[in-house]
A and B are shown apart, each in its own frame.
Chain A
């Protein structure tokens, strides 16, 4: 399984192992894209985790499938197709939620499953249906070109810039809504801004991670970071760096172990989360055991 890795270790040691994949343009681009996507999703993912918006993120990533499929069939930008679909399903969910007999999570469930089905139906008319579906659902980080990277940088700047500019607004509205309202902050507008930033992060990550795996990068690095710090600003820095690092290491895994790139990135982030959960000094399993022992002996 690690044949290629041990071969390259013999040839030139760890430094050679780390640099030799970079001689392939698809690996270079893939790594840059994976790091960018990990960074963007890690940072905005902090709010997804803290506000309990994982289901909404999931709805976006699945619900935009028809837009992605149409863009794919027409040979157009996946980003544009996803963005248009995100706007449409966001608006439909908001409208449905106005009906007091349908709760917000119910309307999210209905719309995202329905939209996902529409995407599958649209794609199933194609001859190479199965392989296309796999590419769309799990992404193709190695097929990323320079233009995709530029787009990711622009959208990433908007997402991270938005989070930085509205730092105190998002912090207060997430921590204490009553106080935020009393200070005159517009809760509805700020919530909308946050959802737009989340949708942008999801859509820009599609190319690299696909509709299904993007949720993991939106949730797992942020959840890992939460275990390591009690301050929002630090949590964002840690989550962003973790996401980027996991993206890069995931691609090395692909290169040396010959397994799917997107899956490697997500699996890696899950393993890191589990390790941190077990070992983190304050909130982890070891700390829990220590506290329990202290309590029983007291």
Chain B
């Protein structure tokens, strides 16, 4: 690949089982058949922080989140959630999955979906209580969807569906909120609502882990950035990590300079991001010739 670049060390502390961490991962590898999706990931994520997980398509962002959630088989891993083993600590996690994996035509209303957030703590024969229902309505109010609580979920717009999914995650009452591309295909006002709620979540001491392909948003809202391409390329405070060198390594060394003041970063699989900083100071990273891209810089 490109010339050796100073990589931020992924592990902030050598203390094993750092109980002050929200999430602590050691030696995480995930294999899908013959393909190694994640290779030896080590990371410690603290409390009260928003962590943006960035990287090109197929680089393992979703896999990384799913490994923390405990839904992909992994090997040789020490995975602590809130200082406890994953199987116990998982109860502290709230989750907003990718929209593509959901059966939207299923006959459930907005309120039903929000209430699903309580299912994880109910046990085999448990039923949602009045308190759970109140919580669901409170959460729907938080995301501005309470007045649509009787609507079938498929009748909502993409942004509204995502608000309901965020409400469901709030009903889970976790201290760690994991979101997989939550801003994909949502309108501007939903984006604002979601980002505002993430900020509130952090202020109350919770930790947010958000995978996104939108570098602009990631850089704007994240306290820390976690750059993934099969393994952790860099992890640390956004100001230190969001540099052309790290991004170039994460996205396979292709940074395209396009018209206007903005720089576009192209991943190997065509994922696009905007880097507002300093790319022009590192002309050696910019291959000759422009590439036609959707100009996301305007947004």
Chain A contacts to B: CB under 8 angstroms: 50, 165, 168-169, 171-172, 174-179, 181-185, 226, 229-232, 234-235
Distance of A134 Cα from B68 Cα, bound (Å): 56
- B90 CB contacts on chain A under 8 angstroms: 182, 184
Distance of A108 Cα from B168 Cα, bound (Å): 37
Minimum CB–CB distance from B136 to chain A (whole Å) comes to 13
Please determine whether A231 and B70 come into contact, CB atoms closer than 8 angstroms: no
Please determine whether A50 and B101 come into contact, CB atoms closer than 8 angstroms: no
Interface positions, chain B 126-179, Cβ under 8 Å from A, are: 126-128, 152, 168
Other A-B pairs, 9, CB within 8 Å; known A175-B106, A183-B119: A168-B126, A178-B95, A182-B66, A184-B70, A184-B90, A185-B119, A229-B107, A230-B108, A231-B108
Q: Could you list 8 examples of A-B contacts with CB < 8 Å?
A: A165-B124, A171-B112, A178-B95, A179-B116, A182-B90, A182-B97, A230-B107, A230-B108
A50 closest partner in B (C-beta): B106
- B103 CB contacts on chain A under 8 angstroms: 50, 174-176
Please determine whether A168 and B107 come into contact, CB atoms closer than 8 angstroms: no
Please determine whether B102 and A168 come into contact, CB atoms closer than 8 angstroms: no
**Option from B95, B106, B128 in Cβ contact (under 8 Å) with A174:** B106
B98 at the A interface (CB under 8 A): yes
Chain B 78-121, CB-CB to A under 8 Å as 1, else 0, gives: 00000000000010010101100111001111001100100110
Please determine whether A177 and B112 come into contact, CB atoms closer than 8 angstroms: no
Please determine whether A183 and B120 come into contact, CB atoms closer than 8 angstroms: yes
Distance of A183 Cα from B97 Cα, bound (Å): 12
A165-B125, A168-B127 given; A178·B97 CB < 8 A: yes
B71 at the A interface (CB under 8 A): yes
- A234 CB contacts on chain B under 8 angstroms: 107
Chain B contacts to A: CB under 8 angstroms: 66, 69-71, 90, 93, 95, 97-98, 101-103, 106-109, 112-113, 116, 119-120, 122, 124-128, 152, 168
Minimum CB–CB distance from B150 to chain A (whole Å) comes to 9
Please determine whether B127 and A178 come into contact, CB atoms closer than 8 angstroms: no
Please determine whether A230 and B109 come into contact, CB atoms closer than 8 angstroms: yes
- B127 CB contacts on chain A under 8 angstroms: 168
Distance of A168 Cα from B90 Cα, bound (Å): 19
Minimum CB–CB distance from A208 to chain B (whole Å) comes to 28
Please determine whether A50 and B95 come into contact, CB atoms closer than 8 angstroms: no
Minimum CB–CB distance from B162 to chain A (whole Å) comes to 13
Distance of A182 Cα from B178 Cα, bound (Å): 10
**Option from B69, B116, B124, B126 in Cβ contact (under 8 Å) with A172:** B116
Minimum CB–CB distance from B59 to chain A (whole Å) comes to 19
- B109 CB contacts on chain A under 8 angstroms: 230-231
Please determine whether B97 and A179 come into contact, CB atoms closer than 8 angstroms: yes
- A231 CB contacts on chain B under 8 angstroms: 107-109, 112
Minimum CB–CB distance from A100 to chain B (whole Å) comes to 9
Please determine whether B98 and A178 come into contact, CB atoms closer than 8 angstroms: yes
Please determine whether B108 and A182 come into contact, CB atoms closer than 8 angstroms: no
Distance of A248 Cα from B8 Cα, bound (Å): 73
